[in-house]
Structure 1
Amino acid sequence: MTDIDQLLFQDQLCGGTLIGTQWVLTAAHCLDGSRYIRLGEHDLRTLEKSETELTIDKSIMHPDYNDDIYVNDIGLLKLSRPVKYTNYMLPACLPDFNTEIPLYQKCYITGWGRDENGQDTDILQYGR
């Protein structure tokens, strides 16, 4: 999916979504002090032309995040400079604040994680 960009921390693999020219939405447990992210990542085994590595200027964790039970596990990363949008790096379209999402609304999910056989994946996966 070209409209959802992933990020790769140097110390651990975490996913994130570009939501503006300088902002990435991610999980709070991924805010471990990493200094770099990689946008446009697809195949972890190779450096592709679509990828851009940027430094992180600031991280913001949800004030009520609980790392024992992962409650409010959400955070923001501010990039050191604005991202130039390309076919591989576009922000996700987020709903307005008051938008009600119907029950059982189909959506997409992306990540590397593990496949149906429990094997780690190097290629970005998605599901609906």
Structure 2
Amino acid sequence: MQLQILLLLPMAFLLPPGAQAGEIIGGREAKPHSRPYMAYLQRKTCKGEEKCGGFLVREDFVLTAAHCADGDITVLLGAHNVRREEETQQRVSVRRKIPHPRYNKTSIENDLMLLQLAEPAELTDAIYTIPLPQAGRTVDSGSVCSVAGWGKTNRYTSTSILHEVELEVMSDETCQEDRQLRHNYKPSKMMCVGEPDEDKASFSVKGDSGGPLVCDEVAHGIVSFGKKNGSPPRVFTRISAYVPWIKKTMRGLSSPGSYAESPASLR
């Protein structure tokens, strides 16, 4: 079932890196723990507490957006309602933040970051990893994928409960021909998502930046940025372009406390 979603973007420009994450408006509540890979990132910054999404790709690594790097981050796994203590939840501190070495705040290129957890998550029915795509693999335009996150459910109402929405993957030309997106959109590194003629898309202003675009149970994209009026399409980081870097980085930091390779040596 494709869901209608009203996009709201009270900003004058493309969502800047480091803006306050994202929200899912007009979606539906997810079935509790049906997305065991989801991670809720609590960020303590100079502006107060902010949030992002992320997803577990290995017991000791969460993948998210590089523009979520500011502040001290605590990762909450196994959550459905992030404002309640649930037996399924595990709260883990972050040992290292590893943004992609070529992340560019201005062009919003290479907007991804690995978080090495201070200790591996205990995998359960409510906490589990999601597969990454094969390097270079693309998703056909017209494919229906999904995004989930914790954020507002309408213009005025916030929620602490995980919500989800289904989205259509668009052709690269859709974003390349959009006058607000074309200067930042890089087909080899980004995905164009959301039908322009319908109010369906994800949104990245308060809660969901860094969350995964899931297609056939594989994480293919990372919520990244949108345009000034909030209308679709919006842009996701294309994970398949970064699989070699992701795997090399995790291998180099193979266990919590391992300092065999520094992040700088993995560039």
Q: TM-score range by the shorter chain?
A: 0.7 to 0.9
Give the corresponding residue for 1:78.
Answer: 116
What SS does the aligned partner of 1:13 have? Answer: strand
Task: Evaluate the alpha carbon distance shift between residue 93 and residue 8 of structure 1 in structure 2; reply closer, same or farther with a 3 A threshold.
Answer: same
Give the SS at the match of 1:29.
helix
Q: 1:70 to 1:41 in 2, by over 3 A?
A: farther
Map 1:17-96; keep pairs closer than 5 Å.
17-68=55-106, 70-96=108-134
Q: Does 1:103 align with 2:141?
A: yes
TM-align CA RMSD: 1.8
Give the match for residue 37 of structure 2.
Answer: 4
Q: Deviations over 1:80-119 (max 9, x none)?
A: 1221210111111221113232112111101112223442
Q: 1:35 to 1:6 in 2, by over 3 A?
A: closer
Identity of aligned residues (%): 31
Amino acid at match of 1:5: M
- How far 1:78 moved relative to its partner? 0.5
How many residue pairs end up in the alignment?
A: 128
Residue in structure 1 matched with residue 242 of structure 2 by the alignment: none
Could you tell me whether the CA contact under 8 Å between 1:7 and 1:40 is conserved in 2? no
Structure 1 SS opposite 2:161: coil
Q: Structure 1-normalised TM-score?
A: 0.87
Contact 1:39 / 1:52 at 8 angstroms: preserved in 2? yes
- Which structure shows the bigger proportion of residues in helix conformation? 2
User: Could you say what secondary structure the match of 2:67 adopts?
Assistant: helix
